Amino acid sequence: MNSRLRRDVSEFLNLYYNFNLVDINRNGSVILEGQINIVDVLGSIWDTCYKVQILIPHLNYPNAIPEVKEVSKNIKRDWDFHISENGICCLAIPHKLILAERSGIVLIKFYQDFIYPFFVNHQHKLKTGKYVNGEFEHHEKGILQFYREELKTNDLKFTKKIIEAAIGRIKIGNNDQCPICNTGKYKKCCKAKADSILKYGLKRIKEDLNIYEIIILGITN
């Protein structure tokens, strides 16, 4: 356990006393186990509590994303609840987690930004039938939804071209006519959108491009 991880774990356990350090070396991770209770703005504890494990990779911490497993089985194993059959929680769209990983996490803040809200959302879904900030699609549909919101378009072919420009598959000079929109010079047209998705890393956006290619091919056939 490196010094940064040791410090973050210590500070986390001092703040969240329902958690304990249960293992340091299993599968190269620090494992914390504890109970999450949901408390509303009035200080009332909601009905369901959750026993969870947080697995924090040693390697590259703080540039590493913890895995969260719900072990109490109080969440139905169903992707509608963003959880796998073995209890691994889908805390957020991969792109958001990539940004957190690349910038480096602080364990307490990661818990507050991703882990605790996941379980709040489950309670809200049970009580109201919907999530606090709306539903997010799963798997490939979730990727399409992400780009719809990120690029503010429903046009699959347009999004595909933006991704291709971002990874350099389409070679475009700043002063070239934009081949995506054909409405002016690239630098004043679609360059900003292509540049904006580079922060998610070439590996991720190449995977996204593959998803778009498969979906568009399926539509055209």
* Model confidence pLDDT, tens digit, residues 123-163: 888 777 777 766 777 888 889 999 999 999 999 999 999 99
DSSP state of 27: G
Does residue 179 have a cis peptide bond before it, meaning omega lies within 30 degrees of 0? Answer: no
160 three-class SS: helix
Q: Are residues 94 and 136 in contact, defined by beta-carbon separation less than 8 angstroms?
A: no
Q: Which domains does the chain have, with CATH numbers?
A: 3-128 (3.10.110), 139-220 (no CATH)
How far apart CA 170 and CA 157 sit, in angstroms, is 14
pLDDT at 7 over 70: yes
Cα–Cα distance measured from residue 28 to residue 18, given in angstroms and rounded to the nearest whole number = 23
Cα–Cα distance, 69 to 51 (Å, whole number): 9
In the chain, the amino acid numbered 189 is C
Query: According to the model, what pLDDT value does residue 164 have?
Result: 94
* Least confident span in 62-66, 74-78, 159-163: 74-78
Q: What is the DSSP letter of 178?
A: P
**Please, which residues have CB within 8 angstroms of residue 188's CB and are 6 or more apart in sequence?**
none
* CA geometry: angle 205, 206, 208, nearest 5 deg: 60
